[in-house]
Structure 1
Amino acid sequence: MPIERITFPGHSGDMLSARLDMPDGPHLATALFAHCFTCSKDIPAARRIAARLATMGIAVLRFDFTGLGHSEGEFSNTHFSSNVADLEAAADYLASRSMAPALLIGHSLGGAAVLKAATRITSSKAVVTVGAPYEPDHVSHQFGDAISKISANGQAEVSLAGRPFTIKKSFLEDVSGQNLEPCIRGLKQALLVLHAPKDATVSIDNAARIFEAAKHPKSFVTLDDADHLISEPSDAEYAAEVIASWAGRYLSLTPPAPPPGAPEGIVRVSEADPKGFLQDVNAGPLHHALADEPLAYGGTNQGMTPYGFLASGLGACTSMTIRMYARRKGWPLDHVWVDVSHDKVHARDAEAPAGQKVDTFLRTIHLQGELTDEQRQRLLEIADRCPVHQTLERASVVTTHLSEAVVEGAT
């Protein structure tokens, strides 16, 4: 998927560094992502969520707050209110490109920031928080004994995730003066709260308070054993899947009509994990599946194998063809299911040139209902009219060409 490297002015005029993850196909909506405290736009959770939403046709802008990552400015001069102002600046930038954000996503303190900013970003229709605190002042718990030094000296250096940051007294005063409850109660957008019960940085009771304060429509989904940063790929994948599925309910994701003469659609398969074999399989913006290999072959077993998809196509087509015929005839077919197994047999067992192997699909059809023997036999014959069956039995031609090289980034 194409990723634009962009910059835009933040709340203080400093240029903020951002990535805009664009869909390969039609652009149906835009999301704005706010990262966690002292993190960056490039943390694994942010990248994974952005990639998943892009497969649905949702562009995602993720940026570094002032003084963090590759953005300009001094972090020591920022606070919670400046983060909210940066979010508003990001929304304004997107609006200037006719891409006003419909979805706001915030991780940790970024989640609190999107709750605060949501009432001012009127284009948004849905808000997602991931491991967010109910009170922004919660972040000051990470400063430990340094709080007294900050109060006494006006600032102090604090080590966060092994990195030094200068925290000023103005930061403490700003977060302590925040009250998110009116913002949460006043949300006009749908809300999804994601939180891990074992989150050691922001406890799960914060999620409960956010959820309780919000009005419907609202949803709460647990992230099980995930840590606060959603650092495990499987946890980030799960969070991304949940957000992508949930967002489709509240955003208008109707794709534009295809041009005259266009085929029904394209199945796009894109690599989800370059270190393994996991693949994202998308048929348009609404249908998504995962393809993978078993653990024994170096995969993560999160989806069917490619041959599994091939067999499932035959099984699904067979079942649909039988149902269509029985419905037209008015026959008492209560239920149908198809078991398909796939194997390769040597040419000596089949009519094929010597030395070649041919694919054999064993298809077992199960029919339930008060059908006569004649009806059952007829439905068995109809199964062979399944278009996928006929495609597999005919010789196929696969034409392949290489697309033009895509250069990542644009300013």
Structure 2
Amino acid sequence: MQNQKVTFENSRGEALTGLLEMPVNQLPYAYAIFAHCFTCTKNIDAECSISRALTMKGIAVLRLDFTGLRHGNGALEGNRFSANVDSLVQAGRFLASEYSAPSLLVGHSLGGAAVISAAHELPSVKAVATIGAPYAPEHVSHLLQGKAEQMNARGVAEVSIGGRPFNVDEQFLEDIRQQNMEPMIERLGRALLILHSPQDNVVAIENAAWLYQAARHPKSYISLDGADHLLSRRQDALYVGEMIGSWADRYLDAHEKEALKVEKQVAVRLGERGYTSDVMVRQHSLTADEPESYGGDDFGPSPYELVAAGLGACTAMTLQMYARRKKWPLKEVRVHLDHYKEHAEDCENTEDPKSKIDHFTRIIELDGPLSEEQRQRLLEIANKCPVHRTLHSPIRVLSNLK
């Protein structure tokens, strides 16, 4: 499913746009609000990857643009920390009225400080996660060292965050100086997860220690070793999303939720970029992709590898089922498979010189004190496993548009 564009107003009557991303089955068990870093837009790759990982856990995610960054214009002038906190609160009230009240807040960089503040105004929130967040918003003022002359002359100063230039004005700095975060952290009253990279050169790792010391339990910390502040490597962003989703399960009544299901046996979702696909099989979720050599990101098995995996799993299950029924001492089955195509010289369709047939090579290891006769019989049974027989049978695929 594509992201849903939503629009609502903040307390000053300004229109804010957001993207609401749903799980594959469109039946989330919880809703989250993601406050991206103030120098990012809702479409930045890191934010998209984190949101995607959360939806794979069954959590719907609302991502929104803050005032001054709606078009990714690289400007922090006109952007206020206090106003952005208000925008998060209004986003929570919008979800409560139109969908379901948010139970999880996630914030990246200054967005992390913002969600801690906003949580106090949203009683439905049960858990808060921060990513590379400063202990106090004014921490970012260190980026302006040596910029006093530029600030005095122009009223704004250009700073570099993650190699990208941004303009900061005096009003923005004055606003963040007035924020007293320590009591907000101490009285948070929700589960807190702090994620931070030791190599973060924008918000130093000491901020994570100060946050952790100020917060009360339940609180947790995860090191994002090797990641930069903006999580520019996609694998870092996906890791963050997966960790937050798994951690949040403990606090969002996940054990009480109904098993996530799809209308059909399998549902697959792929957006407009790349080949990384969300796959849902009944209540189970996984990721499919293509290898880098085929233009993918290699974040999951390829479609043919999934077919081979199905054949391997079916083979192992069938052999153990047969051995148990016969009471044979089969301790363990290991199946190794490869898939490739080769020219079908002996194929019936010899008129087509480009004709190829698919080959699956299957190596089966059987552990246990089996006789040679038993081993040969199990090899025969392997060729009768249901998936093996399906691959050898005529197959019909019926496709319809919805």
TM-score range, shorter chain: 0.7 to 0.9
Please give the residue correspondences for 1:251-290 in structure 2 after superposition, counting only pairs within 5 Å.
Answer: 251-252=252-253, 254-255=257-258, 263=264, 265-271=265-271, 273-274=273-274, 277-284=275-282, 286-290=284-288
Structure 1 partner of 2:389: 390
1:56/1:284 contact within 8 Å kept: no
Aligned-partner Cα distance in 2 for 1:7–1:272: 22
Structure 1 partner of 2:207: 206
2:39/2:166 contact within 8 Å kept: no
Q: TM-score, normalised by structure 1?
A: 0.82
Aligned-partner Cα distance in 1 for 2:90–2:269: 35
CA positional deviation for 1:201: 0.4
Aligned-partner Cα distance in 1 for 2:296–2:99: 40
For each residue in 1:298-326, what CA deviation from the matched residue of structure 2 results, as whole angstroms up to 9, or x when unmatched?
33434333222211110011112223333
1:17/1:70 contact within 8 Å kept: no
1:40/1:69 contact within 8 Å kept: yes
1:334/1:368 contact within 8 Å kept: yes
Q: SS where residue 81 of structure 1 aligns?
A: helix
For each residue in 1:163-190, what CA deviation from the matched residue of structure 2 results, as whole angstroms up to 9, or x when unmatched?
434322xx54543343434433444433
For each residue in 1:178-206, what CA deviation from the matched residue of structure 2 results, as whole angstroms up to 9, or x when unmatched?
34344334444333322222211001221
CA positional deviation for 1:243: 3.3
Structure 2 partner of 1:407: none
Cα separation, partners in 2 of 1:361 and 1:196, compared to 1, 3 Å: same
Cα separation, partners in 2 of 1:313 and 1:241, compared to 1, 3 Å: same
For each residue in 1:143-178, what CA deviation from the matched residue of structure 2 results, as whole angstroms up to 9, or x when unmatched?
33556998x99x93122443434322xx54543343
Please give the residue correspondences for 1:365-404 in structure 2 after superposition, counting only pairs within 5 Å.
Answer: 365-403=364-402
Aligned-partner Cα distance in 1 for 2:322–2:305: 26
Aligned-partner Cα distance in 1 for 2:344–2:121: 69
Pick aligned residue for 1:164 from 162, 167, 171: 167
Q: SS where residue 105 of structure 2 aligns?
A: strand
- In the alignment, structure 1 residue 320 sits paired with structure 2 residue 317: yes
Structure 2 partner of 1:334: 331
Structure 1 partner of 2:308: 311
- Letter matched to residue 3 of structure 2: I
1:146/1:156 contact within 8 Å kept: no
CA positional deviation for 1:364: 1.6
- Letter matched to residue 126 of structure 1: A
- Letter matched to residue 280 of structure 2: N
CA positional deviation for 1:32: 0.2
CA positional deviation for 1:110: 0.5
> Root-mean-square deviation (CA), in Å?
3.2
1:199/1:227 contact within 8 Å kept: yes
CA positional deviation for 1:258: 6.3
- Letter matched to residue 25 of structure 2: G
Moved more, 155-164 or 112-121: 155-164
CA positional deviation for 1:268: 0.8
Moved more, 178-187 or 141-150: 141-150
Structure 2 partner of 1:301: 298
Cα separation, partners in 2 of 1:289 and 1:78, compared to 1, 3 Å: closer
Unaligned runs of 5+ in 2: none
Structure 1 partner of 2:104: 103
CA positional deviation for 1:269: 4.4
Q: TM-score, normalised by structure 2?
A: 0.83
2:290/2:302 contact within 8 Å kept: yes
For each residue in 1:10-59, what CA deviation from the matched residue of structure 2 results, as whole angstroms up to 9, or x when unmatched?
13332222222233423212110112134332322222222333344422
Structure 1 partner of 2:228: 227
Cα separation, partners in 2 of 1:46 and 1:347, compared to 1, 3 Å: closer
Cα separation, partners in 2 of 1:255 and 1:89, compared to 1, 3 Å: same
CA positional deviation for 1:363: 1.5
Unaligned runs of 5+ in 1: 404-411
CA positional deviation for 1:257: 7.7
CA positional deviation for 1:285: 5.7
- Letter matched to residue 389 of structure 1: H
- In the alignment, structure 1 residue 357 sits paired with structure 2 residue 356: yes
CA positional deviation for 1:271: 4.4
- In the alignment, structure 1 residue 118 sits paired with structure 2 residue 130: no
Structure 1 partner of 2:184: 183
The alignment covers a number of residue pairs equal to 390
1:291/1:306 contact within 8 Å kept: yes
CA positional deviation for 1:292: 1.1
